[in-house]
Amino acid sequence: MPRKNVAGPSILDPADDAPELTDDFFATATLREGGKVVRRGRPKLAEPKRLVSIRFPADTLARLRATGPGWQKVVVDAVETALDAEGGRQAS
């Protein structure tokens, strides 16, 4: 049976077994607090928007979508304007 090649001497310094702590190291690190992973990203909103379902006539919806990206904001603005014009009265 042929003999395996023996690895050569290690090029690593045995006194230096820890990785270098660079900005890149910390930018990609997993952050934990008390054993729980801390999520990155956008913080949760105090009052997030809510999903609702509303039915529009097909031609009305086509006209809204034709205004391009942000057409949902146009609807929200129109509803808020209508509510403000009513003086904020609520249905009984």
Q: What is the pLDDT of residues 4-51, one digit of tens each?
A: 666 667 676 777 767 778 888 888 878 888 888 887 778 889 999 999
pTM above 0.75, yes or no: no
**What's residue 90's pLDDT?**
60
Query: 89 pLDDT exceeds 70?
Result: no
- Rounded to whole angstroms, the Cα distance separating 40 from 29 reads 11
Structure tokens at 92: 């009984």
